[in-house]
């Protein structure tokens, strides 16, 4: 047993570590990623990005708020699956690990599937990312990869700039969804998924969930659930 363990350690030691800026195939990215546990890394347009330590108020807390909002929707909508930092095999040059994803968990209805080794393969219907600012990769290469692969809706929350963009894929391009007179954006892919943007950005989660509940009580959401089940 000791010899086997030592042999395994030697094998891992011979695998180069992932470094930001590496240009790799998805196969080589996964080989190196498997050898370096407890690290977050993504492959975006063939380039490796290794995550830096994350701050609480600019990332961890907003991330939790998105999970809370989308989690309530998912619980009330049978047939959906919610993921937190799940690896997505998007295409041969892209293997992101989005902050949050929401997908239709039915092979006949959804775009993405869960592989035999428990990874998401294909484009989830919705992806949400927390970005520090507009200079983030989330609004450039990653956005382009999500659009090209057919992620239907893409949310980017720029926490340092107090701004949230919600893009919807239309005719191969991402167009921004516009809030209604009450400041609420309504998903076009997931009926009843409503978001009061100002309340989310200011941390008023009670109002965020109250507005979401209005969406969950809508006729459109009831019809969507009926179609899924």
- The domain tally of the chain equals 2
pLDDT band at residue 168 under the 50/70/90 scheme? very high
Helix and strand totals (H; E) in the chain:
7, 13
Task: Tell me: do 20 and 69 sit in the same domain.
Answer: no
Task: Tell me: do 139 and 220 sit in the same domain.
Answer: yes
- The encoded tokens of residue 129 equal 């990312």
Task: Tell me: do 61 and 79 sit in the same domain.
Answer: yes
Task: Tell me: do 87 and 190 sit in the same domain.
Answer: yes
Q: 130-156: string of b/e by CB count within 10 Å (b at 16+)? A: bbbeeebbbbebbbebbbebebbbbbb
CATH number at residue 218: 3.90.1570.10
pTM for this one?
A: 0.86
Kindly report which listed range (62-71, 88-97, 101-110) carries the lowest average pLDDT score: 101-110
Name the most confidently modeled range: 25-34, 131-140, 146-155.
Answer: 146-155
Task: Tell me: do 41 and 58 sit in the same domain.
Answer: no
pLDDT for the residue numbered 10: 45
pLDDT for the residue numbered 138: 86
Residue 83 has pLDDT above 80, yes or no: yes
Task: Tell me: do 39 and 97 sit in the same domain.
Answer: no
Distance in angstroms (rounded) separating the CA atoms of residues 121 and 51 = 22
- Average pLDDT rounded to a whole number, residues 131-160: 90
pLDDT band at residue 48 under the 50/70/90 scheme? confident
- Average pLDDT rounded to a whole number, residues 1-20: 58
pLDDT for the residue numbered 70: 98
- What percent of the chain is modeled with pLDDT above 70? 92
Terminal C-alpha separation, the chain: 50
Residue 148 has pLDDT above 80, yes or no: yes
Distance in angstroms (rounded) separating the CA atoms of residues 228 and 27 = 34
Per-residue DSSP letter, 92: T
**Mean pLDDT, the chain, integer:** 90
Bigger pLDDT: 197 vs 17: 197
- Average pLDDT rounded to a whole number, residues 117-137: 89
pLDDT for the residue numbered 213: 98
Per-residue DSSP letter, 23: B
Task: Tell me: do 83 and 61 sit in the same domain.
Answer: yes
Task: Tell me: do 27 and 74 sit in the same domain.
Answer: no
Task: Tell me: do 173 and 207 sit in the same domain.
Answer: yes
Task: Tell me: do 17 and 32 sit in the same domain.
Answer: yes
pLDDT band at residue 84 under the 50/70/90 scheme? very high
Domain extent, residue 111, equals 54-228
Residue 200 has pLDDT above 60, yes or no: yes
Residue 2 has pLDDT above 60, yes or no: no
């Amino acid at each position: 047993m000791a010899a086997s363990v030592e042999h395994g350690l030697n094998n891992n030691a011979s695998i180069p570590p992932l470094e930001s800026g590496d240009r790799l195939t998805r196969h080589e990215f996964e080989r190196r990623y498997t050898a370096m546990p407890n690290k977050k890394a993504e492959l975006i347009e063939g380039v490796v990005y290794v995550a830096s330590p994350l701050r609480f108020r600019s990332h961890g807390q907003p991330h939790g708020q998105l999970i809370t909002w989308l989690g309530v929707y998912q619980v009330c909508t049978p047939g959906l699956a919610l993921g937190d930092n799940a690896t997505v095999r998007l295409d041969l040059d892209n293997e992101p690990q989005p902050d949050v994803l929401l997908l239709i968990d039915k092979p006949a209805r959804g775009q993405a599937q869960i592989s035999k080794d428990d990874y998401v393969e294909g484009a989830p219907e919705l992806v949400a990312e927390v970005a520090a600012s507009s200079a983030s990769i989330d609004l450039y290469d990653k956005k382009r990869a999500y659009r090209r692969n057919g992620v239907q809706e893409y949310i980017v929350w720029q926490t340092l700039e107090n701004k949230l963009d919600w893009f919807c894929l239309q005719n191969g391009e991402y167009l921004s969804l516009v809030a209604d007179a009450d400041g609420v954006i309504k998903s076009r892919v997931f009926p009843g998924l409503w978001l009061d943007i100002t309340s989310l950005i200011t941390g008023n989660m009670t109002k965020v969930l109250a507005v979401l509940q209005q969406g969950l009580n809508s006729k459109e959401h009831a019809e969507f659930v009926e179609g899924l089940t």
